[in-house]
Protein backbone atom coordinates (compact mmCIF):
# COMPACT_ATOMS: atom_id res chain seq x y z
CA UNK A 1 0.00 0.00 0.00
CA UNK A 2 1.39 3.38 -1.03
CA UNK A 3 1.43 5.64 2.02
CA UNK A 4 2.98 8.64 0.28
CA UNK A 5 0.86 11.76 0.64
CA UNK A 6 0.34 13.78 -2.54
CA UNK A 7 -1.19 17.22 -2.09
CA UNK A 8 -1.57 19.40 -5.15
CA UNK A 9 -1.18 23.13 -4.81
CA UNK A 10 -2.46 25.83 -7.11
CA UNK A 11 0.27 27.36 -9.21
CA UNK A 12 0.24 30.85 -7.77
CA UNK A 13 3.28 31.92 -9.82
CA UNK A 14 1.33 31.86 -13.06
CA UNK A 15 -1.89 32.86 -11.32
CA UNK A 16 -0.90 35.55 -8.80
CA UNK A 17 -4.49 36.68 -8.40
CA UNK A 18 -5.93 33.33 -7.26
CA UNK A 19 -9.45 33.72 -6.08
CA UNK A 20 -10.47 33.37 -2.49
CA UNK A 21 -12.50 30.29 -3.46
CA UNK A 22 -9.43 28.60 -5.00
CA UNK A 23 -7.40 29.26 -1.85
CA UNK A 24 -10.19 27.95 0.42
CA UNK A 25 -10.57 24.88 -1.80
CA UNK A 26 -6.80 24.25 -1.60
CA UNK A 27 -6.86 24.69 2.19
CA UNK A 28 -9.80 22.31 2.60
CA UNK A 29 -8.19 19.63 0.40
CA UNK A 30 -4.95 19.89 2.38
CA UNK A 31 -6.76 19.65 5.71
CA UNK A 32 -8.80 16.68 4.48
CA UNK A 33 -5.63 14.90 3.39
CA UNK A 34 -3.94 15.63 6.73
CA UNK A 35 -6.99 14.29 8.57
CA UNK A 36 -7.01 11.17 6.37
CA UNK A 37 -3.31 10.57 7.05
CA UNK A 38 -3.78 11.12 10.79
CA UNK A 39 -6.63 8.58 10.82
CA UNK A 40 -4.38 6.05 9.06
CA UNK A 41 -1.56 6.70 11.55
CA UNK A 42 -4.01 6.21 14.44
CA UNK A 43 -5.31 2.97 12.91
CA UNK A 44 -1.83 1.53 12.38
CA UNK A 45 -0.77 2.65 15.84
CA UNK A 46 -3.74 0.85 17.39
CA UNK A 47 -2.92 -2.35 15.47
CA UNK A 48 0.72 -2.12 16.57
CA UNK A 49 -0.36 -1.54 20.17
CA UNK A 50 -2.58 -4.63 20.01
CA UNK A 51 0.34 -6.74 18.75
CA UNK A 52 2.61 -5.43 21.52
CA UNK A 53 -0.02 -6.10 24.19
CA UNK A 54 -0.53 -9.62 22.84
CA UNK A 55 3.21 -10.27 22.83
CA UNK A 56 3.54 -9.10 26.44
CA UNK A 57 0.61 -11.29 27.51
CA UNK A 58 2.02 -14.35 25.71
CA UNK A 59 5.51 -13.83 27.18
CA UNK A 60 4.00 -13.67 30.67
CA UNK A 61 2.06 -16.87 30.04
CA UNK A 62 5.22 -18.63 28.84
CA UNK A 63 7.15 -17.36 31.90
CA UNK A 64 4.38 -18.69 34.15
CA UNK A 65 4.44 -22.03 32.32
CA UNK A 66 8.23 -22.26 32.74
CA UNK A 67 7.96 -21.50 36.48
CA UNK A 68 5.37 -24.26 36.84
CA UNK A 69 7.53 -26.65 34.83
CA UNK A 70 10.52 -25.98 37.10
CA UNK A 71 8.34 -26.65 40.16
CA UNK A 72 7.26 -29.97 38.64
CA UNK A 73 10.91 -30.90 38.07
CA UNK A 74 11.89 -29.96 41.64
CA UNK A 75 8.96 -31.96 42.98
CA UNK A 76 9.99 -34.92 40.79
CA UNK A 77 6.50 -34.82 39.23
CA UNK A 78 7.72 -34.84 35.62
CA UNK A 79 10.45 -36.64 33.70
CA UNK A 80 13.45 -34.36 32.94
CA UNK A 81 13.48 -35.33 29.24
CA UNK A 82 9.79 -34.47 28.88
CA UNK A 83 10.37 -31.17 30.66
CA UNK A 84 13.30 -30.38 28.33
CA UNK A 85 11.07 -31.10 25.30
CA UNK A 86 8.28 -28.89 26.64
CA UNK A 87 10.69 -26.04 27.36
CA UNK A 88 12.17 -26.46 23.88
CA UNK A 89 8.71 -25.91 22.35
CA UNK A 90 8.96 -22.33 23.61
CA UNK A 91 12.63 -21.89 22.70
CA UNK A 92 13.64 -21.99 26.37
CA UNK A 93 16.27 -23.92 28.28
CA UNK A 94 15.75 -25.26 31.77
CA UNK A 95 18.34 -23.25 33.67
CA UNK A 96 18.66 -21.29 36.88
CA UNK A 97 20.81 -18.31 37.71
CA UNK A 98 23.49 -18.64 40.36
CA UNK A 99 25.39 -15.62 41.63
CA UNK A 100 28.75 -16.03 43.28
CA UNK A 101 32.22 -14.72 43.80
CA UNK A 102 35.23 -16.44 42.27
CA UNK A 103 38.70 -15.93 43.70
CA UNK A 104 41.54 -16.99 41.44
CA UNK A 105 45.17 -17.04 42.41
CA UNK A 106 48.03 -18.02 40.16
CA UNK A 107 51.46 -17.19 38.85
CA UNK A 108 52.11 -14.91 35.92
CA UNK A 109 55.25 -13.66 34.26
CA UNK A 110 54.97 -10.24 32.63
CA UNK A 111 57.46 -8.29 30.55
CA UNK A 112 56.88 -4.63 31.46
CA UNK A 113 58.80 -1.41 30.78
CA UNK A 114 61.39 -0.55 33.44
CA UNK A 115 59.57 2.58 34.52
CA UNK A 116 56.08 0.96 34.61
CA UNK A 117 54.10 1.57 37.83
CA UNK A 118 52.56 -1.71 38.98
CA UNK A 119 49.69 0.22 40.58
CA UNK A 120 48.36 0.71 37.03
CA UNK A 121 48.54 -2.98 36.04
CA UNK A 122 44.75 -3.53 36.29
CA UNK A 123 44.17 -1.20 33.31
CA UNK A 124 46.72 -3.12 31.24
CA UNK A 125 45.40 -6.67 31.74
CA UNK A 126 42.21 -8.19 30.42
CA UNK A 127 41.03 -11.15 32.43
CA UNK A 128 38.04 -13.00 31.03
CA UNK A 129 35.87 -15.67 32.67
CA UNK A 130 34.24 -17.89 30.07
CA UNK A 131 32.75 -21.33 29.79
CA UNK A 132 34.60 -24.36 28.50
CA UNK A 133 33.80 -25.38 24.92
CA UNK A 134 31.67 -28.37 25.92
CA UNK A 135 30.24 -26.88 29.13
CA UNK A 136 26.55 -26.83 30.04
CA UNK A 137 27.21 -23.70 32.08
CA UNK A 138 26.81 -20.32 30.37
CA UNK A 139 28.54 -17.24 31.81
CA UNK A 140 26.06 -14.38 31.42
CA UNK A 141 28.03 -11.72 33.31
CA UNK A 142 31.42 -11.46 34.94
CA UNK A 143 33.24 -8.53 36.44
CA UNK A 144 36.92 -9.08 37.11
CA UNK A 145 37.78 -5.66 38.44
CA UNK A 146 40.26 -6.58 41.18
CA UNK A 147 43.69 -7.30 39.73
CA UNK A 148 46.76 -7.27 41.89
CA UNK A 149 50.32 -8.09 40.83
CA UNK A 150 53.10 -8.23 43.40
CA UNK A 151 56.69 -8.06 42.31
CA UNK A 152 58.81 -10.99 43.56
| Mean pLDDT of the 100-115 span | 81
- Least confident segment among 4-8, 26-30, 107-111, 138-142: 4-8
Taking CA atoms, 93 is separated from 38, 56, 81, 85, 126, in Å, by 44, 20, 12, 9, 30
Q: pLDDT tens across 113-125, in order?
A: 888 888 888 788 7
Q: Average model confidence (pLDDT) for the chain?
A: 80
> Is the pLDDT reported for residue 45 higher than 90?
no
Amino acid sequence: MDTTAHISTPDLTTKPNASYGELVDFWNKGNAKIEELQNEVDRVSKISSNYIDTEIRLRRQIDSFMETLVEYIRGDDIDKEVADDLAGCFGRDLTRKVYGRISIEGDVELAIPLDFDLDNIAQELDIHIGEAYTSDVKVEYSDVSEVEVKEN
